[in-house]
Structure 1
Amino acid sequence: MIQARSPLLIIMAFFAIYVIWGSTYVLNKIAVTELPPFMLAAIRFSTAGILIFIIAKFSGKSLRITRKQFINTVIAGFLFLSFGNGVVVWALRFVDSGFAALVISAQPLMVLLLMLILDGKRIQPMSMVGVFLGLLGIYLLVSQKQVTSQENSLLGISMIFACLISWSYGSLFVSKANLPTNHFVNTGYQMFTAGILLMLASYLFQEEWSYPTTWSTPTQFSMLLLIFFGSIVAFTAFNYLLKVVSPEKVATSTYVNPIIAMILGWYFLNEQITAQSGMAAAVLLTGVYFINTKKKLVMFSRFTSKLPEKINKE
């Protein structure tokens, strides 16, 4: 029997949060070329939510939650999945999958700015460097003519940034909200309720639904991968890693996902990777690293450590 901290399980889990999550942008891009975006996301999340409930029930986990917890899961599901992911899928009709992944990777930057605006939390010197690099990377990314010249690209870019804000605020909300204690059950409720909200959005936008049997093989394959691997396997791997390795190591997926998305988008969808895109990715992800790292600026820490000595001498 494989032990809980098995090196093999840890490697497989990292593969899941690196490659599988990184590939979801390309899978969504493939599927959304044929399917209406809100219908696509609705089927993905409602199906994944039902499957999670079934798995949880058979594994002996209680699905009972309080009324307050249910309301909070609906809010979290809307911020993360209904709007945060559903609108990303909608925007993928107008922007490349690699571009979307890079913008979303700036989530730590947006979380930091929202904490400053909403909570008045002071930004540390190391994080200030990250904010500057992050903003520079985003500017390099969106200022390319190849990006802005595509039809409805500005609308798509705007919606991607709106999703970034939604994801970031959702992170702050979840950190304080009363949610189900079991992460698997919590995700099941978020996915299922988000799927219902996306169905309503699909109805309001008068999207035309179709049977899976009428979809092309690439779209069917993409949907299956999004449901089973992108929604269930990767999330389970994420929670497993949070229990057996440090959070800093788990957070490295922030740097790897957009790179995977860019490579897969280039290979399968012929998306261009310009020199400026590569530079923007390097600058942006370096900024994200500075924001996530707990290390201090060497020069700053040396200076502050000598302040008491200088004050005493004076």
Structure 2
Amino acid sequence: MGKSSNSALVYLAFFAIYVFWGSTYLLNKIAVTELPPFMLAACRFITAGLLIFILAKILGISLTITKKQFINSVMAGIFFLSFGNGVVVWALRYVDSGFAALEISAQPLIILVMMRILQGKKIKPMSVVGVVLGVIGIYLLVSQKQVIAKEDSITGMIMIFFCLLSWAYGSLFVAKADLPHNYFVNTGYQMFTAGIILVLMSLSFGEDWTSPLDWSVEVQWSMVLLVIFGSILAFTSFNYLLKAVSPEKVATSTYVNPIVALLLGWYFLDEQITLQSIVAAVVLLTGVYFINTKKTLAIFERFKR
């Protein structure tokens, strides 16, 4: 493969992690207006996991893993997908998709603080500046009257924060856990087992399951796009980029995803973008920029949406 072909592949992969991941907030928001949240997430991840297994078989990739690797995959799937993503989908019933994306962009801040609390890691001066800016940005974001006035919006914001804690702890867990060595297989097991857990969560909450044939066309397309583009292609592109370019460049998705989500929510769902939201976004993302060290990136960037 020539240099120009590699360059084209890199550009396409960046497009995937920028736009596809940024659009998952819009797609989940559209789908959750009609489908129960845990059912929605369960369908997405079980389908994506099965497709990954089928692709792995076609490509001749072994799906054999140890018992310990399977257990760790289940745990990682719970931290990142069952709770981390499933509850975000639930929260999207009460907050705008762009708002959720901005709040979630504080993930590196939470990871850094948790590394300090649980592992005693020192926070570098530049990262301290990042934490301060991140806290200010989050405050500006969640203190808006337009946001707080919406019914159950506070509950949605709090639940997204707990998702951030789950992702942060999960990130520290997978950094040391024995997981399947092939990232494609690893992702497949995490998605499939997380989907099964989400089925149990859905049933325990008494959600009403419906056939995909009964869903509206908009929701059907949202699910297809979430599975193919938001799960399989974006994850594959992300893992390719980790080998093809530096982690700092891959980490730019942290800054681009919320912007894509805000614009898509504004354009397709008429979500309001206030001046305070813009200021909060600038302050928060600047803080994230200061926080993003190579070591932190290597931990949290490997496992996103």
**When the two structures are superposed, what TM-score results if normalisation uses the length of structure 1?**
0.92
SS of the equivalent of 1:241 reads helix
Change (3 A) 1:56 1:208: same
Q: Please list, as runs of the form range in 1=range in 2, the aligned pairs for 1:62-141 lying within 5 A after superposition.
A: 62-141=62-141
Structure 1 residue 146: Cα displacement: 0.7
* Deviations 1:34-74 (CA, angstroms, capped at 9, x unpaired): 00000000000000000000001110111000000000000
Q: Please list, as runs of the form range in 1=range in 2, the aligned pairs for 1:1-314 lying within 5 A after superposition.
A: 6-293=6-293
CA distance in 1, matches of 2:176, 2:148: 38
Q: What amino acid maps onto 1:24 in structure 2?
A: T
* Deviations 1:237-276 (CA, angstroms, capped at 9, x unpaired): 0000001100110011000000000000000000000000
Structure 1 stretches of 4+ moved >4 Å = 1-5
Q: What amino acid maps onto 1:179 in structure 2?
A: L
Retained in 2: the 8 A contact 1:5–1:244? no
Gaps of at least 5 residues in structure 1 are 295-314
**Max Rg structure:** 1
SS of the equivalent of 1:6 reads helix
CA distance in 2, matches of 1:293, 1:201: 36
Q: What amino acid maps onto 1:166 in structure 2?
A: S
SS of the equivalent of 1:273 reads coil
Structure 1 residue 4: Cα displacement: 9.6
CA distance in 1, matches of 2:4, 2:57: 21
Q: Identity, % of aligned pairs?
A: 72
Change (3 A) 1:4 1:47: farther
Matching residue of 2:300: none
Q: What amino acid maps onto 1:287 in structure 2?
A: G
Retained in 2: the 8 A contact 1:78–1:197? yes
Count of aligned pairs = 294
Structure 1 residue 293: Cα displacement: 4.7
Gaps of at least 5 residues in structure 2 are 295-305
* Deviations 1:181-203 (CA, angstroms, capped at 9, x unpaired): 00000000000000000000010
Retained in 2: the 8 A contact 1:31–1:222? yes
RMSD of aligned residue pairs (Cα, Å): 1.1
